[in-house]
Amino acid sequence: MSEAVGLYLEEAKRSSYGHKLRQMQELAIRDPENFWSEVARNLYWFKTWDRVLEWNPPFARWFVGGLINASFNCLDVHVRTANRNKVAIFWEGEPGDRRVLTYMDLWREVCRFSSVLRDLGVRKGDRVAIYMPMVPELPIAMLACARVGAIHSVIFSGFSFEALATRIRDSGAKVVITADGGYRRGKLIQLKKTVDEALAKTSSVQSVIVLRRTGSDVEMREGRDFWWDDLMRGKSLDSQATPLESEHPLYILYTSGTTGRPKGVVHDTGGYLVWLYATMKWVFDIRPDDVYWCTADIGWVTGHSYVVYGPLLHGATSVMYEGAPDYPAPDRWWEMIERYSISILYTTPTAIRMHMRFGEEWARRHDLSSLRLLGTVGEPINPEAWRWYQRVIGGGRCPIVDTWWQTETGGIMISPAPGIELVPLKPGSATLPLPGVHAEVVDENGKPTKPYEKGYLVILGPWPGMLTTLWEDPESYKRIYWSKFGHNNSLNFHFNPPAVYYTGDYAMKDDDGYIWLLGRADEVLKIAGHRIGTTEIESALVMHEAVAEAAVTGKPDPVRGESIVAFVTLKPGFKPSDDLRVELIKWVRRTVGSIASPSELYFVSKLPKTRSGKIMRRLLRAVVSSTPLGDVTTLEDETSIKEAMEAVELLKKAMMNNRTADSS
């Protein structure tokens, strides 16, 4: 353990580390309602709540009776103070263009754009789909929705038309906000074209607003499509934030689960903002003079919570970047840290491993001494990457907050909390739960496991940042998250009645009570920290005319955490070939998006299934990762797994031969 991160573990134990943290934990446990109302008082409420919590497991309503608005708390409260001219966003486009937006600038744009939405007939509760590159207009669009009480549904711009159409259809969005394109690694991404393809498959959308970003030619449909700048022209600033009930949905964010249909995670306004306010302070110890950079794309939850709402609630100065980390050269990030004197960097283990590959000389070219705190999120971080991050980027000086959380939890749940008290860090562990988070590791029967025993990570609910439901699907919400362990009385809890939230993650505790995350326990993949459901890729594959059945699994990848491997059976009349393999991979990329693109695809004559017909992806995962198969008693036909093994071996051999041929 490096001295730089605060304390040596042994020394720390002697000095009874964690005293302050424990004190906060106890306060939160003893009187959660009082604890959370203290935090909530830091926000602006048009009307104070009557009750902190109404809990009908698993449905929670936080700050019942309170009236609040997210856009007001992110902007109006700051423009009324000396912070009005403080920089809210330092933005850089990938080609190198730059913009600086103060709180006043952002407030103006949001007011005007919210008038645009109102004029288009957008009302409280309407859904607005946002499909944009990482430009300031993306948070502006979100905050404008929040201002009028419309529910935004941001769709990651790397998703393609099928994924976009599914999400638009499910939410019944009335308006889509997009751009004529975006830049990624020097290439133009045709967002509007994808929107047009998606809209051909949906019927709810009445208007499309198109931002000019790249100047590309796009088709504009008369009466439906409008340019952003045309609509904004002459719009007045007089657009008051609508006071909304605390439980009013702020947004829907679709995330992958174990079914083909993505889940529409719904977050409320009051509880969610309270959670973000608290975690920004505890985890990032955010201060007025910080320059904070969360590298996440706003299309994922990390961007919603820690690029947009969290930092703005605190009136912080953030950096936002449009493009790829290695464009035009691998030191783009380090150059930016030097340029803006960034003090907090929050990123993913995949990004760190990628930079490790480029080599530390790229970071060495720049002065990174402004950094004081580093963070990671999205996937387990291997100790080697942790140490590199700390030594090369943090100069051996900066603590690392390894933050565990999920789209569903709204904000960070398990993480070091230097804003309260820095506990000794252990590379690879997210350390301890934050105050008010009751995390346990349990076995199949819901009993807490012994130290170092692998089990399921569960959270005892409720907590203010939690999802409130799945969009128009409360039954799935109950079943997916709250039914596996039910009302478990062997776990002690302060809320009555207690309910056990199932995270879908494996974890273990060590004998200091530190939590180590051990990956997903379900069919969800983590590709470069992004959550992709195997079934979503399978559904895309079977939409191709040649494919009869498909099974998708993940394989460990040294940089991206996991890579996607697909097994397919073909319909009669179609034959396996290299051309078809390439075509199917392209097909997935075109319909779902390039992040869902399989890195390996095998043709087999049958898939391994149980006698009841369920595909045994667990076995395929073992085959592709060359690990033991484990229990195969439920397998219906053993030749299926043999065939998969042979297919994998064959490709390996072919690749080896190619390599030898190349080098000779």
The least CB distance from residue 301 to ligand WTA, in Å, is 5
Cβ–Cβ under 8 Å, residues 154 and 137:
no
Q: Is 505 in the site for ligand WTA (CB under 6 A)?
A: yes
Q: Residue 534 interacts with ligand WTA (CB under 6 A)?
A: no
Nearer to ligand WTA, 18 or 257 (CB): 257
- Residue 406 interacting with ligand WTA (CB under 6 A): yes
Q: Residue type for 231, please?
A: L
Contact, 241 vs 68, CB < 8 A? no
- Regarding 403 and contact with ligand WTA (CB under 6 A), the answer is yes
- Could you say whether residue 470 binds ligand WTA (CB under 6 A)? no
CA distance 328 to 99: 19
- For residue 396, the minimal CB distance to ligand WTA (Å) is 22
Q: Are 605 and 643 in contact (CB under 8 A)?
A: yes
Q: What is the size of the binding site for ligand WTA (CB under 6 A)? A: 22
Span from 119-127, 226-234, 402-410, 486-494 in contact with ligand WTA (CB under 6 A): 402-410
Q: What sections of 241-286 are H helices per DSSP?
A: 270-284
What are the counts of helices (DSSP H) followed by strands (DSSP E) for the chain? 22, 30
Q: Is 562 in the site for ligand WTA (CB under 6 A)?
A: no
Least CB distance to ligand WTA at residue 116 (A) = 31
| Selected binder of ligand WTA within 127, 213, 263, 531 (CB under 6 A) | 531
Nearest Cα neighbor of 144 from 170, 179, 118, 173 is: 118
Say whether residue 295 binds ligand WTA (CB under 6 A): no
Give CA–CA dist 401/120, Å, rounded: 43
In the DSSP assignment, the letter for residue 15 is T
Binding residues among 19-58 for ligand WTA as defined by CB under 6 A: none
Q: Is 266 or 377 the residue whose CB approaches ligand WTA more closely?
A: 377
Tell the smallest beta-carbon distance from residue 407 to ligand WTA (Å): 3
Nearer of residues 323 and 554 to ligand WTA, judged by Cβ? 554
- Here the tokens at position 142 are 């979100």
- Candidates 102, 407, 431, 539: give the one binding ligand WTA (CB under 6 A): 407
Q: Do residues 469 and 525 lie in contact, with contact meaning Cβ atoms separated by under 8 Å?
A: no
Q: Which is nearer to ligand WTA, 531 or 581 (CB)?
A: 531
- Would the CA dihedral through 450, 454, 456, 461 be positive or negative? positive
Q: CA neighbours within 13 Å on the CB side: how many for 99?
A: 17
Taking CB under 6 A as the criterion, the residue among 153, 202, 255, 534 binding ligand WTA is 255
The span from the CA of 116 to the CA of 141, in Å, is 10
To ligand WTA, the closest distance from the beta carbon of 333 in angstroms equals: 20
Give the binding range for ligand WTA (CB under 6 A) out of 8-16, 99-107, 503-511, 654-662.
503-511
Query: Do residues 567 and 607 lie in contact, with contact meaning Cβ atoms separated by under 8 Å?
Result: yes
Which residues fall within 8 angstroms of residue 73, CB to CB, at 6 or more apart?
A: 43, 44, 273, 313
Question: Which of 52, 517, 537, 540 is the binder for ligand WTA (CB under 6 A)?
Answer: 517
Tell whether residue 347 is a contact of ligand WTA (CB under 6 A).
no
- Quick check: 405 binds ligand WTA (CB under 6 A)? yes
* 40 neighbors 270 (Cβ within 8 angstroms): yes
Q: Judged by CB under 6 A, which of 468, 503, 563, 569 binds ligand WTA?
A: 503
569 interacts with ligand WTA by CB under 6 A: no
520 contacts ligand WTA (rule: CB under 6 A): yes
**Cα 610-612-617 angle, rounded to 5 deg:** 35
* Sole window of 3-11, 179-187, 404-412, 615-623 interacting with ligand WTA (rule: CB under 6 A): 404-412
Least spacing, CB of residue 32 vs ligand WTA, in Å:
23
For residues 257-289, one letter each, b for 16 or more C-beta atoms within 10 angstroms of the residue's C-beta and e for the rest, the string is beebbbbbbbbbbbbbbbbbbbbbbbbbbbeee
- Find the shortest distance in angstroms from Cβ 74 to ligand WTA: 20
> What phi, psi does 213 have (nearest 5°)?
-120, -45
Tell me whether residue 436 is exposed, middle or buried, using C-beta atoms within 10 angstroms of its C-beta: 0 to 12, 13 to 18, 19 or more. buried
Helix (H) or strand (E) holding 70: helix 70-71
**Smallest gap from residue 377 Cβ to ligand WTA (A):** 5
Smaller CB distance to ligand WTA: residue 464 or 608? 464
Nearer to ligand WTA, 315 or 504 (CB): 504
Residues of this chain, 55-114, that bind ligand WTA according to CB under 6 A: none
Give the footprint of ligand WTA on residues 300-329 (CB under 6 A). Answer: 300-302
Taking the least distance from each CB to ligand WTA, the nearer of 300 and 485 is 300
* CA–CA separation, 533 and 124 (whole Å): 32
Round to whole Å and give the CA distance between 481 and 502.
5
Smallest gap, in angstroms, from Cβ of residue 140 to ligand WTA? 23
**What's the CA gap between 558 and 129, in Å, rounded?**
35
Which residue, 71 or 406, is less far from ligand WTA as judged by CB? 406
Q: Which is nearer to ligand WTA, 341 or 449 (CB)?
A: 449
For residue 14, give Cα distances in angstroms to 17, 36, 41.
8, 32, 36
The contacts of residue 620 (CB under 8 Å, 6+ apart) are 551, 553, 565, 567, 608, 644
CB of 641 to ligand WTA, least distance (A): 27
Q: x/- site string to ligand WTA, residues 375 to 394, per CB under 6 A? A: --xxxx--------------
What the block records as the tokens of 361 is 């000389």
CB of 403 to ligand WTA, least distance (A): 5
Q: Does 413 bind ligand WTA (CB under 6 A)?
A: no
Q: Out of 122, 175, 250, 430, point to the residue binding ligand WTA (CB under 6 A).
A: 430
Cα 366 to Cα 260: distance, rounded to the nearest angstrom:
45
Which residues of this protein are in contact with ligand WTA, per CB under 6 A? 255, 300-302, 377-380, 402-407, 430, 503-505, 517, 520, 526, 531
